[in-house]
Amino acid sequence: MTQPAIGYGENGARQSGGESGTALAAQRQGEPTMTDPVCGKPVPLSSPHTFVFGGALFCFCGTDCWAQFQVEPASYVRLEAAAARASEEAGLAGISNPGPHGLSQILYAYTSGAGNNGSAFAGINANTLWYNSTLAIAMLLGRFFAVIPILAIAGNLAAKKHVPESLGTFPVTGPLFTLLLISVIVIVGALTFFPSLSLGPILEHLLMNAGKAF
């Protein structure tokens, strides 16, 4: 989808009037709001009073807060927080669903990238600078970085001396070891995937049953 052109003045304020401002407002489903960093009031994203700081866009309730913020932006927002917001906006720009399904889209894209498959849910636009860069990093770490601890464990096991069995040796062929092994797999798997499932598909299903759709 072609994004509307947004111009910025010399002071960094967005010039969103006219046709481009109308196109931007039309893209915002349900007219979401942003908190004014000066007064703390909720402000619609279509507000004409905006300012870019640290790569992130901030909206203001009026000219007073807008002008006050420009004098010393760092006194209201830390640069690191602004950069984090900018990366968040870049990530959210690619999803087609602002609800829990959008989280599933993002998680699946990076999980698939780390697994070197590279597939993605239908509806997410991963062909952006943000996703191309971060998914490439995920693929690099998933393919090569994971090999390092595996080789380290293998080297450590190879260096161990053979010790004959004794009364203190824990048998690995009995039901106790089998039960412990299965328990560890289930617990680690639950701790790994349940948070993502609860915030994604499970929450989406509960909201759908409650009549809430995105």
Q: What is residue 88's predicted lDDT score, i.e. its pLDDT?
A: 66
Which residues, other chains included, contact 122 with Cβ-Cβ below 8 Å and sequence gap of 6+? none
CB 65 within 8 A of CB 38: yes
Which residues, other chains included, contact 90 with Cβ-Cβ below 8 Å and sequence gap of 6+? 128, 129, 130
Q: How many CA atoms lie within 13 A of 146 on its CB side?
A: 10
Q: How far apart are CA 62 and CA 59, in angstroms?
A: 9
Q: Indicate the pTM of the whole model.
A: 0.52
Other CB atoms within 10 Å distance of the CB of residue 112: 19
Which residues, other chains included, contact 182 with Cβ-Cβ below 8 Å and sequence gap of 6+? none
Q: What is the rounded average pLDDT of the residues 81-107? A: 72
Q: Minimal CA–CA distance to 58: which of 87, 33, 93, 27?
A: 33
pLDDT (tens digit per residue) in 109-118: 888 888 877 7
pLDDT (tens digit per residue) in 127-170: 888 888 888 888 888 888 888 888 999 999 899 888 888 888 88
CB 43 within 8 A of CB 58: no
Q: Is residue 22 over pLDDT 50?
A: no
Query: 187 falls in which pLDDT band (50, 70, 90)?
Result: very high
Q: How far apart are CA 206 and CA 36, in angstroms?
A: 32
Q: What is the rounded average pLDDT of the residues 87-97? A: 72
Q: How far apart are CA 79 and CA 56, in angstroms?
A: 9
Average pLDDT over the chain, rounded to an integer: 76
Which amino acid, one-letter code, is at 18? G
Q: How far apart are CA 91 and CA 83, in angstroms?
A: 12
Query: Which helix (H) or strand (E) is 65 found in, with range?
Result: helix 63-71
Which residues, other chains included, contact 35 with Cβ-Cβ below 8 Å and sequence gap of 6+? 41, 42, 43
Q: What is residue 152's predicted lDDT score, i.e. its pLDDT?
A: 92
Q: Is residue 200 over pLDDT 50?
A: yes
Q: What φ, ψ does residue 126 adopt, rounded to 5°?
A: -90, 0
Which amino acid, one-letter code, is at 27? Q
Q: What is residue 92's predicted lDDT score, i.e. its pLDDT?
A: 72
Q: Minimal CA–CA distance to 126: which of 102, 146, 154, 150?
A: 102
Q: What is the rounded average pLDDT of the residues 193-208? A: 87
